[in-house]
Structure 1
Amino acid sequence: MAGAAALTSTVYMLAPRLAMPEIAYRPKVPACQNLGMIATARHTEHGNRDIALGGEILRTVVGSGVHGIAIEGTDDHDEMGVFVEPAERVVGMRTPVEHYVFRTQPEGARSGPGDTDLVVYSLRKYLRLAMKGNPTMLLPLYAPAEALVLVRSLGEELRALAPALLSRRAVHRFLGYLDSQCGRLLDRGQPGRMPNRPELVARYGYDVKYASHALRLAYQGLEVARDARLTLPMPERERNRVLRVKRGEVAALEDVVREIDAVRSAVVEMLDAGRTPLAAEPDVDRIAAWAAEAHRRHWSWN
């Protein structure tokens, strides 16, 4: 959590101190020792920082760190948060604020080891994306306690809403993301196409990062379809198999693709046979009722 603490100190020291609702959990954050350097360094920032951080109800580690497949010295640090917009941005005439992004790398530069990427979504946008089954949006709902950077009482309630948000839509999205990763992985030999990470292809014969992402998505899609939940970090057996691929310990790309295809086929068969405890759609009525009440309470509207 060192990276999480570093980012939290950076962002909160850059933002003004605001009165906030009760915090259910928030780890101690050390004072930022190099604020001057960070504030003037080249970085990427989009959106209204004060509104996003001032209304933040939940933030967790996401990415490889929360999956349990980060490799020291090779991965960046990712965090995702959720904030409640001010009333005038929701029911008034002011423009809504849907997200805030902070990256330690400049625009267009790829994040690398030691970098931090933060994205904070408005509650309304987050719920829309989560209801669609976006795999990344599910991570804050299932992140373990050690991956929590900030969670207030409404953030705890949001996490408790996970069963209402999870549906078969999510499984289809896992498969869609998996297919996208496989497409990028297998495009490596097309004339005129440069691989995204040529250094990995040169070293291992294929892009082990794309391959490990695809295998992770396959196993996680299977768990969501079978058990209606997402375990984070990944269960040990599946995590070790993904890590072997990511470390380049599986020499033949064909072996990786064969494993991905086998797991994917099991997921599709489960869906086709209706052998899943998941509802076809999210519980929209429950989600909408909670979202309305959450906004009213955050604004102190009776």
Structure 2
Amino acid sequence: MEPFWDKNLILKVRSGSQAHGLATAESDLDSRGVCIPSKALLLGLETFEQHESEGGDHVIYALVKFVRLALEGNPNLLETLFTEGDDILFVHPYGERLIEHRELFLSQCVGERFGRYAIHQLTKLQRHYGWLTNPPEREPHPSHFGATPNEHGFDFPNSAAERQYRGEHKRWRSYLNWRANRNKKRARLEEEFGYDTKHAMHLCRLLKMGQEILATGEVLVRRPDAEWLKEVRSGRFTYPELLEWSRAQEERLGQLMATTHLPPEPDRDQAQTLVIELQEQALRDGFI
């Protein structure tokens, strides 16, 4: 029996590197979609927010959650609304109405959210770079922080020492987990270039897309700068050059947030009206 998230689908698009024009022969086929849940889930005691395939390559969101996250400027969901041409895999008339209203999701929040996603990529890149260049030599032990053993464990000299130990031990576990589950493709990039250039490519893409949206109001999913971004993935920047470039682009993003013509906040009332109308129409039409 076909699951309702497929049966009630209103929009499905190609996502990830395939949609950005950055795919390699090894790239996964990713997709992202929107559905209207069944009548029971829409009106009853149970709810539905999203379905994710094993591995996370294919995600389908309930309309309500999709709109809520898009209003927050979530980059992945904004891209879903602004995907064009053959990268739109399926669209129902309800999905077409959603796309027709995509401009209402653009606001100054977009700059902040794209910047936050970029910083997340940079943080991962810096953490992995540290593990590559200066890996921890041994597991932290309470005694290294002045703790003495007792019958239940250890007594720390103060709460600051205990917090420091717990923080270092958490980082140690993260390092072991990274080393044990290290992505082989990423490992090859790190060995060749000294850092994860795929993280770097996504960092650059997010910063440039955030700037474009704030400056022009356009969301260019299929990247006009794809060749440049591929060069980044191929080691265009040294690690210090990447950090310097990123700092400059973050500063530029902040400047654009102060001068953009986009509204400070998206029109939540209009978005709510759209969601209500679409779901009421789906009920009247017997779509769900």
Return the TM-score normalized by structure 2: 0.78
Among residues 237, 249, 253, which one is paired with 1:267 in the alignment? 253
Is 1:124 matched up with 2:60? no
How big is each residue's C-alpha offset from its partner over 1:167-226, in whole Å with a ceiling of 9 and x where there is no partner?
Answer: 111210100011111111111214333475332211221101111010001100100111
Number of the residue aligned with 2:18: 65
After TM superposition, give the deviation of residue 240 of structure 1 in Å. 2.2
If asked which structure has higher relative contact order (CA below 8 Å, sep 6+), I would say 2
How big is each residue's C-alpha offset from its partner over 1:143-190, in whole Å with a ceiling of 9 and x where there is no partner?
Answer: 111101110101111111111111111210100011111111111214
Which one-letter code corresponds to 1:137 in the other structure? L
Matches of 1:280 and 1:100 in 2, distance apart? Answer: 31
Matches of 2:113 and 2:221 in 1, distance apart? Answer: 18
Match runs of 1:1-302 below 5 Å = 15-16=1-2, 50-71=3-24, 73-93=25-45, 95-103=46-54, 105=55, 117-187=57-127, 188-190=129-131, 191-192=135-136, 193=175, 194=178, 196=182, 197-235=186-224, 238-248=225-235, 250=236, 252-271=238-257, 274-300=258-284
Which one-letter code corresponds to 1:246 in the other structure? R
Which one-letter code corresponds to 2:221 in the other structure? L
Percent of matched pairs sharing the same residue: 26
Contact 1:181–1:214 at 8 Å: present in 2 too?
yes
Number of the residue aligned with 2:169: none
Matches of 1:211 and 1:180 in 2, distance apart? Answer: 11
Higher helix proportion: 2
Contact 1:57–1:83 at 8 Å: present in 2 too?
yes
Matches of 2:93 and 2:237 in 1, distance apart? Answer: 47
Larger Rg: 2
After TM superposition, give the deviation of residue 54 of structure 1 in Å. 1.1
After TM superposition, give the deviation of residue 91 of structure 1 in Å. 1.9
Return the TM-score normalized by structure 1: 0.74
Which one-letter code corresponds to 1:52 in the other structure? W
Number of the residue aligned with 1:10: none
After TM superposition, give the deviation of residue 258 of structure 1 in Å. 2.3
Matches of 1:299 and 1:183 in 2, distance apart? Answer: 45
- In the alignment, structure 2 segments of 5+ residues that lack a partner are 137-174
Aligned residues: 237
- In the alignment, structure 1 segments of 5+ residues that lack a partner are 1-14, 17-49, 106-110, 112-116
